[in-house]
Structure formats: C-alpha cells, structure tokens
Structure 1
Amino acid sequence: MTTATTPPGMIDVTIDGRALRVPAGTSVFDAARMNGIAIPTLCHLQNQTPVGVCRLCVVDTGARVLSASCVRPVEPGMKVSTDSEKVLNARKTLLELLMSDHPSPCARQEQSGDCELETLAKAAGILESGFQKRTVARGHDDSSLAIAVDHDACILCDRCIRGCDEVKNNFVLGRMGKGYSAGIAFDLNSSMGDSTCISCGECMVSCPTGALTNKGVVGTAIAVGPGAEGFEAEDLLKIPVFKGVSGTFLELNRGAVVKRRFRQGEIVCREGEFGSTAFYILEGKAKVSISTPIAHVRTQGGAKGLFKRLTSTLVAREDDKREEETRDRTIPIDAPVDLAYGNPVAELGPGDLFGEMTCMNFYPRSATVIAESDVIAYEMLRNVLDIMLKNKTFRAQLDETYRRRALENHLRGVPMFADLSPEFIDYLKGSVELQRFAPGQVIVQQGEAADSFYLVRIGFVKVSENYPGGELVLAYLSRGDYFGEIGLLGGGVRTATCTALDHVELVRISGDDFREMVGRFPGVRTGLEAIAAERRAANQQRMQMVDSVPIGQFLSQGLMEAQSLLILDLQNCTRCDACVNACADAHDGITRLVRDGLRFDRYLVATSCRQCRDPLCMVGCPVGAIRRRNSLEVIIEDWCIGCGLCARNCPYGNINLHPFEVMAEDPEHAGRKKAVIQQKATSCDLCTHLKEPSCVYACPHDAAHRVDPKTFFAEMLGQGSVK
C-alpha cells in the first residue's frame, strides 16, 4: 500500500517477496523487468502495445484467476508471485499447447537456434507435447522474394501485426478466421508476394518463431572485386534512391547490391547471356544495342542428291520480305527504351534501370550494353530490386522516365495508333495509369465488365477462355502487345481472362479515354475493330475445334495445341528413317525432326514443329523475336539473338539452334571486332520452297503425313481421311 513517505506518482508493490517502488501506471511485467525479475513472454515487445494474447506472462496477484502481467497495471500494496507452483504449472500447460501446434524444429530454430517458443519449452523440460498434434496443416507462403511464411509455426502472438501497424505504419497484416482456423493474413487474405507488403522485414524481426523467416535467396551476395565495391546498410541508406527502404531489410541483404565502375568501352552485359541482376546507372552514359545480325534464316535450293539440297543462310529483310513486314517496327528490350529496327542502338544515362526482367524472371539479357563513357552503376539482386520497385519515390522516378522516353514509342508501336495527334499522345502520357501484377495474378476476368484498354510494358500475359472441361489458351502477349479492345468495342464484357505469367507491368488507358480516342480518330476505331474481328473469328474457330474432338484424349496428348502435325502411320512405317534422312539432306545435314514422340492409337506424332495454338516457345523471348504470323503460324524474326530460351521452352523439342559465323565486338579489345559463332533459332519451315515437305515426299510407304489435327481426329472417329 502507498504510505505517507511514498512520493506522488509512485506506487509500492511486492514482487516475489521484494518490496519495490515503481511509477503509477506501470505494468506488473515492466515493474518486474525494471528490477531484474524475468517473466517469460511470447507476445510482448517493448516497442509495441501489450495485448496479453499468449498468456505466458501470467502471474499470481492474489485474484481469483492468474493475470497477464504485460497488461495488468500495478496497484498500491499489490503482492505478486511470478514463480509459484500454480504459475509454473499454468505456463507449462500453455507451452505444451503451443508446442502441439508447432513444427519442431521450426525454420528459425534450424537457422539460428533461437526460436523463442522452443527455447522456453526446453527450459521448462518439455521435449514433446502431451497434447494431440494438429492434423490439418495451415500451409506455407513462398510468394515473397524476401520472406518465407510458415503458417504452421505461427502462434498468433500478433507481434508481426503490431510491428507492421505501429512501428512501420504499413497496415498490411491482420488476423483471419476464427478458432482452429485462425491465422495471419496480408491485406484481404492475399499471398504475401501479391500484397501491398514492402518487405521491410519488421514482421520477420518481430516474430518469435519460424513463422516469418529470411529466405535463402536473401543471403546470396554479388561477387565483389576490381571495379566493384559492397555497402553496409547505413551507407546504402545515405544514397537517395534507397531512401525509405528498411534498414533492417538492407542489413539482412548485405552484399545483394554493389557499386560497379565500368571504363569507357567496357561491356556491362551481353545479349543472350543469362543473369540474375539489374543495373541502375548513377553516372555516365552507356550504349544499348543488338549485335546479332538482323536477318532471316532462309533455305535456298541447290542441285545435289536425290532431293534438292537446301542451304541455310542469313538474308536481310529487304531480300526476304514477309507480307506482315510492311511497317517500321521497334525491337522491345529490357530497358526504358526500345530499339529502332533500322538502327538497333540507343543510349542509357543516369537514372535508367535496365535488366529488370532478367533480374525478376531470370530471362536472358535482351541486348548488349557498353559503357560510352566511364559509368558508375548499382548492380542488385532481385530481392533488393523488388523492394526498390515497391518504394514510392523510386517507382515514381522510373515511371516518369518511362512516360518521358518510351511511352510514346509504345503507343505508336500499335499500328492503329499511328493516326493519334501529338497533342493527344501528350494527353495520354499524363492520364494513363501504370500498373504492376505479380505472377499468376488475374488482370481481367472473362465475363466481367470491360472498363480499360491495356498495353503490355513489361512481362508476359496469358490470354485464355473457359470452356466445358478446361481452359483454352488463345495467345501470349509481351511488350508492345495490347488487349481489352474487344470488350470495349463490343458488348462491354470481357470475352477472355488475362493472367500475368511473370512480373508484369501494364499501361492502362481508362474506358473514357479509350472511347474519346476512337471517337476523335476514326482510323484508330477502324483498325481496332478489324483486329477485334480477326481475334473473335480465330477464337471461335478454336472453340469449334474443341467441340468436335474427344477432348480427354486430345488434351492428354497435348495435340489440341497443334495447327500442323507430322504423323507417322506405324502400321505402314518400316522405321527406315527415310523421312529423317531427307530432312537432314534438305537442311545441311541437320535434321529438324526426330522419329519419336507422342502416340495416339496407331499413329506416332513425330518431333517436329506443330505451329502450336498455345506456343510456349514465345514466352520469355527477351527481344520478342518469336511470334505469330497473321496466318497464326509461329515464326522466328530476323532479330533473334540466339539465346536459346525458345528451344528450352518448347515442350516438344521442336526448335533448333543453327550456328553462323558473324563479326562481333571483341571483349578483349574495345572498338575491335572479330569472327565469332552466333546462333539463330530455327524450326521446321515445312519446306515451303518445295511442293511438299521433304520428309513426306521421301517416305516410300506412305506412312508420313502433314495433317491438320482436326482432320486427324476425324479419321480417328471414322469420319474421313487423314490426307
């Protein structure tokens, strides 16, 4: 009790037999802590509001029930016991209950041996909980680049929530569900990677268990050496572009960003190489270009052998014109600028970020970057880049650079937008919205109201339609492509679902601006309506095909994707390999087919380009060189840089890399060139210079046929001929 000698504002209490004097309003927990008396807790941190949810800090105050000391204020004359048998038994029971739901050892215990729950349990002599273990796992969330979430290790202490809300004022975390199904959630139950979380690391630092841990990728460091220097976290925070980034995060990611110095003429990165970093130029200028010759691979006839021998050569566009190549094009690259087809060279300077898609999605480098002057640049791994892209100041700087330098080119890259006036382009520069989507995130849903037109700025978008029994992929869109016009020009409803395949950035034009644009510029409306009509017709044709075949077998063999199949009738085939040899004879000894593959009934679907309707080979091309013709055939453009990603992506092994000798920059002697072997991707060209494919013509037993899959399945159903 307070006596006459107790100063105003102070209270006398007794804790574990010790007489103490503490300020009024002090919690029992803090009163004990200030006087060296330890009370265990799992939910309380000194920089957070106490909530008393773990109940591990219970003490005996002489009341009917034990009290949570972190939320129980001291009272005059209060006598507190922190280690009575009753208190210790209660804590042990609570620890056993928590351990029954806890994976032991958890990730934190494995990494550093300091899981607070497991440490307390061990101190209490609890090696294994006597209560029944959880039978239904709550799952993991690995969507964040920096932080791994193990919901099974979460004890619902709310320390992460309070750290996010009270310490960082981000308000991303909260509780979800009730009772046995309760857990933490990000935003409105999004995955961590898809939420508005900026990966500051405060939740991870606050977490007492392995529920929130630093991912292994975060520990990866960029090698330092001549021309490269690392940073300490406090040094990075002094750099303007890192302003606002969590110091905790930078400390955990020490070594994931370095400063590099490149001398004039030095190569920063080379096209076609795989990498995992992005570059941000601080000082100096760099030249970005494509050194691979811009030329088609064309086969020309000779006069040797039983069949005409074809020689593969590189041919410039003006000597091998294609019907759709009637306008100037730009080559999309992983930088804030695109390259002009006629002169694929551009300049990068201070404030430019390049290599973003290589860093975020591990795509090959899309271009070669050479220092035009001495250059200082930050090189960073994707965990740091991801944080930078979520930093509002840095994001605003990149967006302003894009609007100023590249947006007009992207808009005018859409053929129908060529008629837009400079004034309207300037208006769009300020009115469009730049949006980001995480891998797997749905951008627009089939059947919902259409309110926007989208232009792809970065990444790949999958366009698909739902049909009874599954999903039909209509197209893959990459930088410079667009979608949304069908819904806006038609009935106002989305006719397909568009989903981000990787980290995607889009330019969104609102429905009002779109309608004003097509109203003011009739040529834009006419062009978009024509394209929309073509897309609707092509989609309808695909759906008719789906309806006319045994869908289960069709899907199981992957044949629904094909427009043209090379099939071998195994009842007639004698395995003589005449088809393979003929293909090799026709293409300089390099066959473009393999007599092996999927089987359907008595037919073998040989390994040769199928001209797929869902061309996975198009996904990830760093320069957009593989695309569809107007006839829906998949073609490889003349600016292919030979990185080989399309060949790796093709699930049927139907794309080859063909070597050519070309002149390229000599990395050991700046300004000089030397002869090197450069690859170009090639696939079956259907021997278009001959009356029919060599493989079909060469078969002596009428076993090889190039067919349309619909015709092929009609034969299976007894409705017609394969031929």
Structure 2
Amino acid sequence: MSNASDPSDKPVSFDVTDLVEGTRPDDEGLFARDVDGQLIRVERATASELDEDVALTIDGRAITVKKAVPTRDAQGNIIRDDNGAPKPRFTTIYDAASEAFVRKPGDPHPIPALCHKEHLPPVGVCRVCVVEATEMTRRGPRKKLVPSCVQRVNAGMIVNTINSEADPDAAERVKASCQTVVELLVADHLPDSQQHTTGNELAAIAQRMGVTQSRFAGRSIQRGQDNSSKMIMVDHDQCIMCGRCQRGCNWVKGNNVIGRAEKGYESRIAFDLDSPMGHSHCVSCGECAVSCPTGAMQFQPSFIETQIKRVQDDMVAEKKDGEIVTADELVKIDLFSGIPYKFLQFNGAAVVRRMMAPGDVLCREGEYGSTAFIILDGEFEIFLNTTRGAVRNEKASGLAGLLGGLKTVVEKVGGRARLADVGAAQLLDNQRILRNKEDVVLGEMTCMNRYPRSATVVATQPAEVLEIKRNVLYMLQRNAVSREILDRVYRERSLRGQLASLPIFDSLDEANRNLAADYLSNKADLVSVDPGQTIFKQGDLADDYYINKLGFVKVTQAYGRDERVLNYLGPGNGFGEIGLLSSLGNTLKESLGGEIRPGVRTATCSALDHVELIRIRGDDFRALLQQFPELKQNLAAKAKEILQRDQEARSRLQAVEADEFLDQGLYLAQSLLVLDLERCTRCDECTKACADTHDGVTRLVRDGLRFDKFLVASSCRSCMDPYCLVGCPVDAIHRGGDSLEIEIEDYCIGCGLCAENCPYGNINMHGFDKQEVDAKGKLRSVYQEVDGKKLPVVQQRATTCDLCRSVDGKPSCVYACPHEAAFRMTGKQLMDMVSR
C-alpha cells in the first residue's frame, strides 16, 4: 500500500529549510559529527548568517558567498516568517558552484545532478552531485565525498568537482564515484529507446560522464506501466525514485496525490492509496511529468497533439497570425535554456512566433493582456493614445440604462501617465520610447498583474517576437538563469523609469529628475510581501521608503482601541515618507503638524494581496534630500496633504463597514452583481435567466455578502487582480483581449485550480461525459473499464460569469430583473453609494 497519506511524504507540512540546514559530512539521524569528530546536534541557520561571508575554493577558484541565503518558494519568491523577515537556510556547495560558474544562459554547471532542482527542496538521494570536500581539522586535512546539494559551505573548505584542473586526482575520484552511480541507474532505468531522447536528464548525464554501456546487469523485476491517465504515461521501470515528482505534486502544487509504495527493488511511486493514476485524485496539472528527469513520466502524444490543434483552430477562427514554436526550437534560445523540456512539450501551444512588419501593432493600450512578448529581432516604439486607457463597463444612459444595459468606456485618469509595460516611464512631448532585443521582454507587467495594457506598441522595422502565456512566464521566473535576465532588464529599463515618474519628483526639472532616479536605482532593492503581512506598524521607527510595484497595500490608523482603514494604495504609489520627513528638523515637523512624533510611523501598512515593493533605505532617502534640497518643502507639502486626506477618509469611512469592504475584496471588483434588497422580491429571475442562457449551468448564486442595503451576489466580480488566473497549467483561463470579463476556453482540463484560487466561490466545476470524434467523424462517448464494468469517462470543466460576452454581451441577470433591483458596478461605485 502507498504511504501517500504519510505526513513524511508531504513536504508541504514541514519547513523546507530543515532539509539542508546543518548537514555535515557525516550524518547520523538527528546528530552529525563536526570536522573534529565531535558529535553535535544539527544546527539551524540564523538571520545574522545572511550577512556573514564564507570564503572557500571550488576547482581552484577562490569565491566568497554568504553563509546563509533566504529560503525561496518554487517561483523564486523569498519565504518570510510572521514578522516579515526572510527565513534563512545554509548555503550549500551546489549553491556556491552555481553562483561562481553559472553566469549566463548556457553556462554548464560543474556539478551534475538528478534529484535536485533549484526550485525544489533538496533531499540528496541520487548522489550524482557528489564532490570532494576538504576541511582542516586539528589532525590535519580531512577529505570526504559528499552530496553537494545538501552539504553546507564552511570557511576554508576546498571543493573539487569532476571538472577540477587544480587537483586532477580528486577530479578523477569524484568522476569514478559519479560514473558508478550513473552506471547503476542506466542498467536499471534507461532502456535503449530512451538513450538519445531529448529531455531525458539521465541519458544526458550518462553521455556527459562517458557512460555508453553499463558494466552491471539490469534488474530482473519489472514494475510495469500505467497508461490509465489520458494525459500522462507512467513507466515505473524507468523511475529512479528521485522524488522530484512527489515534491512537485506535494510541495509546489500542494495536491498531495503522489507517495511511495512497496520496498526494495519493488518500490515505486504511487497515487492516492496505490490507485492507477487515471483513477486517483490527480488533477492533471502536469507538474509531476515536468519534474521527472527520466522517461518514467511523459505526456501522452495524443494530448499534446490535441492541445496544439485546438490553439491552431482558435488562431484560424480569430484570424490571428503566428506560428506555434516547438519545444526543440525553444531550448536553443538562451532565455529558455534552463526550462524543463517536458514543460515546453506540455505547453507546446503556449508560445507563438509572430513576424511583424513596420507599422504592425503588437498590443494596444487598454487591452487586458494575458501574454508577454520576447523580442528576438527588430525594434518597437511605445506610445499612448489616452492619458490612461482603463477599459470599464458602466451603466448606459437613457432607456437602455433603465433596463440594465452596459456601455464600455475608456476611463481617463489624471496626472502623469505610468507605463507599466515600459517601466512606468514618463512620456514627454516629442520623446520616443524604443525597445529592441536588448530589452528581451515587453508586456511582462501586464501579463503578471493582469491589468490593462498601459501603452500601444508598434513595430518600426521588420521584427520577430515570441508571444508567451502567463504559465510560461512563471516558469521563466522559477529558473535562476532566466530570472536573472528578467531582473537585470527590469533594473536597467523599468526600475529607473518608475523612479523617475514618482510624484515626489514633480518639483524637479527633467535633468534633476533623471539624476535623482539614477541615484536611487543603484540603491533600491526589491521586496516581496505575502497577503496579510505587515510592512510596518504605526509607532515603529521610520527607516525605509517604499514604492508599490505590484498589488495593493492597506493603510490603517489606530485610535485607542479602534482601528480605521484610511486608504489602499495600488501600483505606482510611494509611501513611508512622513515618518522619514518628520525626523529632518523642527521646521518640517511643524509643517506636518504638532502631533507628529519625529521619526515614527503615523500609520500601519500591510499587504492586501501579493505585493511587490521597491525599497529605498532611509539613509539613502535622506541623502537624496540633501542632494536635492528643493525636494524637502515639496515633500512636506505633499505629506501634509496626505495627512489631511487621511483625516477626511477617517471621517467618511466611520459611517460604513470599511474593514468588511476591504476584507471581502470588494475594492478589487470591476463588475459586481449588486442587488438592492429594498427593491428585490427574491423572485430568483436573475438566477433562472443565467441558467437558461448558459445551457442549464447557472453562473451565479443569489447569496453573498450583505453590505448596507445591498447584497453582493456570488457571481464573478471581474477582479482587478484575479486570483483565478494564477497557475492554470494550460492557460485556459484569461481575460478577454479588450475587456474585463474572465473567459474559460474549451480546452480547460478541469484541474479545479482556478476554483480553489478564487476566494469568493465564484468559479464552479461541472461534470460531463467525455466525447471524441470517431473514424466516421461522429461524436461518441469515451468509456473505461473499472472493476470489470464499462463506465463513461466523466470530465469536469470550470465555469464562471463572463457578463454574457459569449452570448450577446448583455448580462441576462440584470435584464431579467423585473424590479430594477440588479446592477453591475465597480467596488468604488458601491463604496461611494454607501458612503453618501
């Protein structure tokens, strides 16, 4: 029986830092021996060791690394504790070698590895990543072969890998050990059919180690195949029990489906309580197959072909130009070189090559984008058509409005335009913003945060781009090499532009604004904040200034035992200047108000959702004010305006349940279904109309949050930053190209991730019999044999409200209400109505 339910097989349930902290050359359960042979308890990394340098030598190269590094999740985000501090883990030899030798895409890592990937917690089970580590003891130098993925670095350590030219004898010992392990794995788990298969990491390492034929006989026990899944083929005989599929399923995705069964030669991975994969609770997200380093898990060819055909058909139907780029082509591009080949296969239709002629439009301002663009060749110009094009639906005027009709408008926002897709740069008169392949990527901010395109991008010369979907962009961020490229581009292109466009620099001329941005861009760092996490508290000493890059920040102020929500800050807003300004002298303190305590935070700021911040240290901020004295009074005036606005907001929000408004996410809504309970007679015509319009599957429930005299029904809100769009394995859910509605494509695989991600219960899963086209071109149901019975294969698909865009664009729920009690409105409009 599988022990998939055993907590030890669920990495989600424990701290991943436990897997690498304190590992010594000799492990004995909970204890280890230090270099002098003393028995010690395994240590944990401390926060101070994040800043402590360790000097060591790898292959004759002297390098210095931090003793500990922040623990990161599968997307490369830093994992933090309840106080917002990063969780440290000891730096390993593999980490140090990566930092020293892998500088750019395509650089080979000097240490081969099978069970370890940078986005997974290391476990050290394959022993392919063995190196020779030498440490000095009182008895002299001590050499030992150790697994580099779990072995921590120590000061003065000398490491030799299979490539070491500094100590050829050590390199030979390491290579012999590694070759023996690889030969054993090849004998049992690498059939002839997989010897030269692209994406088989065991075959690639065997070739790298010069293992063309194993000296050992293969295993006699056959573990068999499992083809019960319509999406993934499982060959247990090729499984090397590295645990990468298990960690991918349980730790990365949190599905907790994969465990282990049996022992010894008969041990294998198992699903649920040792069920066939197709009969288990597997949601077909594909993470296990993407993680697998051998041919043990591969995607069904029919599944990949179907996905590609669907996308091709959609491109033809929508008259879109482009050519689907194959996995074999993508792995040759530097940016994609570290991405698993199987992931590129799985998302074989997620990357489309587009050839652009001069004058062709790549994307338009105001569109809701779910893709980013990798520039391979050519040049593009970015410009604005409106001050800011935010596409919104609002109630139509006249008779149509009385009947609940909507009209689409482009909402203009005053002030300086911020171009999210081109680094929030200010677009001045007669200024051209040009981008080429040196900039690598366009549109990544819109792709990640799901806001409207903030600029129009037009080709100025023949160009070639790759249009990638969000799940591909997430995978690029997971890979260290790709992430480094994207971060470098952001710092060189986006960060400086975003700093230059900050309102605090309004009093400076263009030259000084650019000088100020240049000064800060080299001193700013990027900070990730989890939902609900406090950034700083009221009464804390003011030390840093922050700029919101992504997400929403809640601002609250406490009065006695009462706490009031003053504001929420979206992307592009800076905060934290008041506490810093109040410490600069009595004149500024008096201009801000006599009750302000110098150098102390006046409010509490916390993350409402996933927030990315640009942090500027207080010393650098104060030095900036000394370098540009004219900023002081301007900032003081703006800070005074903020304090006055906060006072007005406090008074205005006392009459409404602001906390509930924010906690329920209503501030993010762009299209709430609001029922006026003083008019509503509970006839349920809105729900009936929805079901009749959508083939009997209703997309709303006449229940939900009561807010004042209004009921916010359970129906898709078209959130500004939809949680449902995060992580779809086939990118089947996205916004409409030029609208705010959420669309779910027919190729949805029914994994249910979007329904789980939606915190408001507005996405439902409904089942249906799977059908396929037979040889005669007719649809027929697909059956499978279970316990000797032939049963239809039941699939499920996600559904959500699309404001009837798939029908006629007129919400049936609103039109069906006989009492004019149903309305569609934004969260801000609802708050304004209640506040009056």
> What is the TM-score with the length of structure 1 in the denominator?
0.45
Q: From the CA coordinates, give the structure whose radius of gyration is larger.
A: 1
